[in-house]
Amino acid sequence: MAIKSFQGARKQQNANENSQLKVRDYMSTKLITFRPDQSVQEVVESLISNKISGGPVVNDKQELIGIISEGDCLKQLSESRYYNMPLEHDTVDKRMATEVETIDGNMDVFDAANKFLQSKRRRFPIIENGKLVGQISQKDILIAALELKGENWNSTTKQGS
């Protein structure tokens, strides 16, 4: 006599199903941005009032030209005190990091998590057609992970296994 299963149809584990978790689905699109001619003091005030640790610097065409962070502002603060230079005379373009790594919005969130681990960065801007369209942070990746708490992590990283 054959053995019958009464569990019903089982859902097939499809690796492609979970790999649809793209950076663009979790990135922030309402960004606080800074201008290159803005004073560092304004940036510090904005970082504190918005409870953020940094943000992208864009030109008038919304093209990414740099990133300014708390660390950049602290460095300026330290130097201004040493040289007795007021904060309001220093501008973002003199303090921002201009070599900025970006992430493709179509990147899988697990690949993005690895990029965060390798680079030690807190955020990555997302560029489309030369314009800043969003930003992904470590916290955004953690949000994606929480949404997958019931899933098998290994099945999402194996492609066609």
Determine the pLDDT at residue 88: 62
DSSP string across 8-57: -PPPP--HHHHTT-BGGGT-B-S---B-TTSBHHHHHHHHHHHT-SEEEE
CA separation, residue 114 to residues 1, 33, 53, 119 (Å): 51, 26, 21, 9
Other CB atoms within 10 Å distance of the CB of residue 97: 14
Contact between residue 123 and residue 137 where contact means Cβ atoms under 8 Å apart? yes
Question: How many structural domains is the chain composed of?
Answer: 1
Closest CA relative to residue 40, chosen from 77, 78, 82, 81: 77
pLDDT, residue 158, reads: 46
pTM for this prediction = 0.73
And the tokens for 5?
Answer: 């299963």
CATH label of the domain that carries residue 86: 3.10.580.10
Specify the pLDDT at position 13: 47
Task: Provide the residue range defining the domain that includes 55.
Answer: 19-149
Q: Is residue 14 part of a domain?
A: no
Q: Give every residue of the chain whose pLDDT is below 70, as ranges.
A: 1-19, 80-88, 149-161
Determine the residue type at 16: N
Return the pLDDT at 90: 84
**Contact yes or no for 27/139 (Cβ under 8 A):** no
Instruction: Fill in the DSSP letter of residue 107.
Output: S
C-beta of residue 66 within 8 angstroms of C-beta of residue 56 = yes
